[in-house]
Amino acid sequence: MRVQHTAPPSSTLPARRSLGAVLRVFGWVGLSSLGQGRMAYFHTELVRKRGWVTNADFLEGASISSLLPGPNVTNLSVYFGQRLAGPAGALLGTLAVILPGAVLLLVLSSLYFRGLGTDASAAIGRGVGAAAVALIVGTTWRSGAAAVRTPRGAAVAALTFVLYAVAGLNVFLVLLITTPLSVWLHRTARQTDESG
């Protein structure tokens, strides 16, 4: 790869995969990703099961996906689709994530609008909601621990959390404050700094 001579291994791009292999994985994420915390499904498939992507690369994708506007999971599909299989991977991979759930939700909601009961779905939803919290915590911990192991990283993560979750500031304002501050604090960061 063309950047290899200027940057150590942590910043090389993930190796390209065939479009078919990417679509199978993304399609599975589209079919199986129940509940909130859907990043966990990508983490499981791309990092833990296949080793296509390192934890540091995953966090980079998760960072770009959550700092840009839009649903995190489709931003993440575009990011890794592009990385693993180019523009076709980004487009078709993202469709593979969206379409199964879209069809299922439209079918189930049409049943709902015909008055078929959702009492069970409320009870199931409570269990699923609790699991979602765990999926986000688990995935953030696995991919993000390296980034908050330094004092400056921990301080920025804590500040972001306090401004957003505790003080309740608008998320755009939070990003406007914390991102430039964090980039400035990390101005001496080497490419290897956050690998893990």
Partner 1 sequence: MIGDLAELFTLFARLSLAAFGGGAAIVPPMEREAVAHGWLTHREFVDIFALGQITPGPGMLIATVIGYRAAGPLGAIVAGVAMFLPPSLLTWIVTERWDRLRGSPFVAAVRAGMAPVAVGLLSTGAYAIGRTAIDGPATALIAVVVTLALLRFNVSPALLVLLSGAVGWLLFR
* Cβ at position 156, least distance to partner 1 in Å: 4
Smallest distance, partner 1 to C-beta of residue 25, A = 13
Q: What is the rounded CA–CA span in Å between residue 28 and residue 100?
A: 9
Which of 24, 50, 67, 88 binds partner 1 (CB under 8 A)? It is 67
Nearest residue (CB) to partner 1, 18 versus 102:
102
Question: Considering only residues 26, 37, 46, 85, which one is a binding residue for partner 1 as defined by CB under 8 A?
Answer: 37
Structure tokens of 39?
């990043």
Binding partner 1 (rule: CB under 8 A), the pick from 25, 53, 59, 92 is 59
Over the window 94 to 113, marking each residue x when it contacts partner 1 by CB under 8 A and - when it does not, the resulting string is x--xxxxxx-xxx-xxx-xx
Q: How far is the CB of 176 from partner 1 (least distance, A)?
A: 10
Report the nearest approach of partner 1 to the CB of residue 17 (Å): 16
| Separation in Å, CA 186 to CA 182, 191, 193 | 6, 11, 9
88 lines the binding site for partner 1 (CB under 8 A)? no
* 169 near partner 1 (CB under 8 A): no
122 contributes a contact to partner 1 by CB under 8 A = yes
- For 86, left (φ over 0), alpha (ψ -120 to 50), or beta? left
Based on the shown chain and the rule CB under 8 A, indicate whether residue 9 belongs to the binding site for partner 1: no
CB 84 within 8 A of CB 52: yes
Restricting to residues 131-160, name those near partner 1 by CB under 8 A. Answer: 131-142, 144, 147-148, 152-160
Please give the size of the binding site for partner 1, defined by CB under 8 A: 115
Q: Is 65 in the site for partner 1 (CB under 8 A)?
A: yes
The yes or no reply on residue 167 touching partner 1 (CB under 8 A) is no
Buried-exposed string 160-178: b where 16+ CB fall within 10 A, e elsewhere? beebbeeeeeeeeebbeeb
User: Distances from the Cα of 145 to the Cαs of 35, 125, 137, in angstroms?
Assistant: 23, 29, 11
CB of 68 to partner 1, least distance (A): 5
